[in-house]
Structure 1
Amino acid sequence: MKQNLLLTLLLIFTINTYSQDSKFSIEANYPITIDNNFLQDAYGIVDIGLKYRFVELNPIKIGVSLNGGVLIDNSNQNNSPQDFLVTTYIIQPKVFGELNLESIEKLHPFLGLGYTFMNYQLSGSNNGIDVSGISENLSGFGLNLGVAYDISNKIFVQVQYDFTKLNIKDGPNEKFNTNVNLLKIGIGLKI
């Protein structure tokens, strides 16, 4: 099993060393909630992404991306009688444009538009009532902007900001701020 995994990784890196321009990239980010928003007490676990650049309109590359993330909110676990954990799963498909200028060839600003799907799940108890298994799906349009910096031909670091306006019209959540503001700091690999 280890030999197959090693051989697969070796093949991927060997093929990519001969390619001039990578169309795919994978990334791992650490999401941080910022500002007063819907997820203000949550902290990020991980955000994983995949990007594919399919059109080059010099100096702009246009592509699609898909990110998935997990955030945890355990701020109520220390407040008796509320002892529950909120886990939020986020999926973000986007269309993006990436600027590639010869004068700043290692720096790549990008802007994306997309949609965010969120599912949050409760586990634990609230005032002695078991709330485990309660979940809700939310969604909304999002804007993404950021900048990537190439460390090498294959490895880059990035900082990005995601803003989502959730579509909440009825129910208990309409009283809360429906904005989601995330700052993501991460590293990526062009494949």
Structure 2
Amino acid sequence: MKQKLLLTFLMIFTIKSFAQDSKFSIELNYPIPIDENLIGRSYNGIINAGLKYNFANLDFMNLGVSLNSGIFKNTKEDRVQPFDATIYIFSPRINSEFKIKSLEKLHPSVGLGYSIVNFRADVDRFNSETNSDVSSSQSENGVNLNFGLAYDITNNLFLQIQYDFIKIGVDNDVPDFKYNTNINLVKIGLGYRL
């Protein structure tokens, strides 16, 4: 495991030596669900990872695309229901990072995209036909709006904080209330420009 982790870091840092002015960046965040809603009330953030590519560098902003993925967990100890639940969120989006000449180390950003939210429950009931535990999965999707602020530690390494608002659609049998449709996340982490 240590060898794989060391090899991964070595590959990331050597990519920079071959790429002059690369437009890629990677990020690793801790996601924090907020607000009184389906996720904020019952789930804990585990990890959020992202990849960004800037396809246009203008004087006052960078335009690009990004893909973020997050994992949230709720275990039996957290709920009355007898099952473990995990939520996976995938968010591709278009984003812009603004350049402020008087504050060169700060980079506010805004993004607009789409999120796929996958709910997976592993139930403790045993299925005698398949000799395994019963599990179920359900996906919802909707619009994603992202606001962020990055602070450069070095030319390549940066700290960041982001806010994600996700508005998902629900099935006809689920009430269309804010509790069931609005997801609010704060993400705090590090990024590295390759």
Where on the TM-score scale, by shorter chain, does this alignment land: which range? 0.7 to 0.9
Q: Distance in 2 between matches of 1:78 and 1:53?
A: 40
Q: How many residues align?
A: 183
Q: Secondary structure at the match of 1:172?
A: coil
TM-score, structure 1 length as denominator? 0.86
Any stretches of 5+ residues in structure 1 without a counterpart? none
1:97 aligned to 2:96? yes
Partner of 1:83: 82
Q: The residue matched to 2:187 in structure 1 has which SS?
A: strand
Q: Does the Cα contact within 8 Å between 2:63 and 2:97 map onto a contact in 1?
A: yes
Q: Deviations over 1:69-126 (max 9, x none)?
A: 110022x53656x22111001100010011012211100000000000011111134x
Alpha-carbon offset, residue 47 of structure 1: 0.5
Distance (whole Å) between structure 2 residues aligned to residue 154 and residue 24 of structure 1: 11
Aligned equivalent of 1:116: 115
Change (3 A) 1:134 1:174: farther
Shift of 1:129: 8.5
Residue of structure 1 in register with 2:34 after alignment: 34
* Pairwise CA RMSD: 2.5
Question: Which segments of 5 or more consecutive residues in structure 2 lack a partner in the other structure?
Answer: 128-132
TM-score (norm 2): 0.84
**Aligned-pair identity (%):** 41
Letter in 1 for 2:39: L
- 3-state DSSP of counterpart to 2:143: strand
Aligned CA distance change for structure 1 residues 123 and 115 (closer, same or farther; 3 Å): same
Residue 133 of structure 1 aligns to a residue whose secondary structure is: strand
Which whole-Å CA distance do the structure 2 matches of 1:89 and 1:28 have between them?
15
Residue matched to 1:184: 187
- Equivalent residue letter for 2:69: G
The alpha-carbon distance between structure 1 residues 14 and 43, as it changes in their structure 2 partners (threshold 3 A), is same
What is the identity, as a one-letter code, of the residue corresponding to 2:148? Answer: G
Task: Please state if 1:152 is matched with 2:154.
Answer: yes
1:11 is aligned to: 14
AA aligned opposite 1:90: I
User: Is the 1:106–1:150 Cα contact (8 Å) retained in structure 2?
Assistant: yes
Structure 1 residues 128-147: Cα deviation after superposition (integer angstroms, max 9, x where no partner): 78883111010000100010
